[in-house]
């Protein structure tokens, strides 16, 4: 009850506007829930965009430790971007519920992930998680795990802080820059799907996959809410 009162108080101070139509009220209004689905980016190699499958294609295979990446929507979609931002930076519960709704609606695109033993995520650095209060990638992993009926396993921890990939230019985004930022922990599964919010250059996820494979994990898939940069 107290949290409801507090929530209502917060909402009366900061009125909410729908991320799609801008109407005052909810973060994602009923009519928009009916009318809108995030665009499922068609199955494609995450690195070269060659279509057909979310698996990494034969040509890109030697350049990465990842076996494939599933993305549910395009980051260029302003509705998706707004929901991710509200959730990530403001911990907005309505935005989280909206994203969970989309993940459920897009469950058929998770087929590649159903072959794995466990669901995991790209962890935030502990200090960042503390200041933010939650880890968005971990919450996404829980949503996915519930849908495909697999356990969530924390297979990685982040050893040092990095600049956000989005703030880097392509030249700065060198894979070597990320060497050693992740360390494996616990008993590792044979196959795992790593969740994260956005897939851009893939360098972070590749560094995580590398650490896992060097410690005996056979298959590593990625799963992100969105793929691409603001420009796509
Ligand atoms: Zn709306
Ligand atoms: Zn490719």
CA dist., res. 28 & res. 203, Å (int): 32
According to the model, what pLDDT value does residue 107 have? 82
DSSP-derived secondary structure letter, 117: S
Per-residue buried b or exposed e for 176-196, using 16+ beta carbons within 10 Å of the residue's own CB: eebeebbebeeebbebbbbbb
Inform me whether the pLDDT recorded for 166 exceeds 70: no
Q: Which residue has the tokens 């995580």?
A: 208
Where in the chain are all domains bearing CATH 3.40.50?
A: 38-227
Starting from the CA of residue 53, give the closest ligand: 2
According to the model, what pLDDT value does residue 143 have? 95
Task: End-to-end CA distance of the chain: give it in Å, rounded.
Answer: 43
Inform me whether the pLDDT recorded for 172 exceeds 90: no
Q: Which residue has the tokens 């691409």?
A: 228
In residues, how long is the chain?
232
Gap from CA of 8 to ligand 1 centroid (Å):
20
Starting from the CA of residue 64, give the closest ligand: 2
Gap from CA of 80 to ligand 1 centroid (Å):
13
According to the model, what pLDDT value does residue 232 have? 43
Q: pLDDT digit string (tens) for 118-164?
A: 999 999 998 889 888 899 999 999 999 999 999 999 999 998 766 55
**Whether 67 contacts 56, CB under 8 Å:** yes
**Whether 197 contacts 169, CB under 8 Å:** no
For 38-227, CATH gives: 3.40.50
Gap from CA of 95 to ligand 2 centroid (Å):
32
CA dist list (Å): 189 to 64, 80, 172: 20, 31, 32
Starting from the CA of residue 82, give the closest ligand: 1
Q: What pTM was estimated for this model as a whole?
A: 0.86
Gap from CA of 219 to ligand 2 centroid (Å):
17
Q: pLDDT digit string (tens) for 61-89?
A: 999 999 999 998 988 899 999 999 999 98
């Amino acid at each position: 009850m107290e949290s409801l009162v507090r929530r209502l108080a917060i909402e009366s101070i900061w009125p909410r506007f729908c991320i799609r139509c801008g109407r005052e009220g909810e973060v994602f209004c009923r009519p928009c829930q009916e009318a809108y689905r995030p665009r499922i980016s068609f199955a494609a190699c995450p690195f070269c965009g060659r279509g057909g499958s979310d698996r990494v294609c034969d040509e890109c295979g030697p350049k990465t430790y990842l076996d494939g990446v599933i993305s549910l929507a395009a980051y260029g979609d302003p509705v998706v971007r707004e929901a991710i931002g509200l959730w990530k930076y403001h911990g907005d519960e309505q935005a989280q519920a909206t994203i969970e709704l989309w993940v459920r609606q897009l469950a058929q695109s998770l087929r590649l992930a159903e072959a794995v033993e466990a669901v995991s995520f790209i962890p935030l650095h502990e200090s960042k998680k503390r200041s933010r209060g939650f880890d968005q990638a971990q919450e996404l992993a829980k949503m996915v795990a519930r849908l495909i009926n697999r356990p969530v396993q924390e297979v990685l921890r982040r050893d040092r802080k990095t600049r956000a990939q989005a703030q880097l230019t392509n030249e700065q985004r060198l894979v070597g820059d990320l060497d050693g930022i992740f360390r494996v922990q616990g008993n590792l599964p044979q196959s795992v799907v790593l969740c994260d919010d956005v897939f851009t250059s893939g360098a972070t996820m590749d560094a995580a996959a590398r650490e896992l494979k060097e410690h005996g994990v056979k298959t590593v898939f990625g799963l992100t809410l969105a793929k691409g940069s603001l420009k796509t």
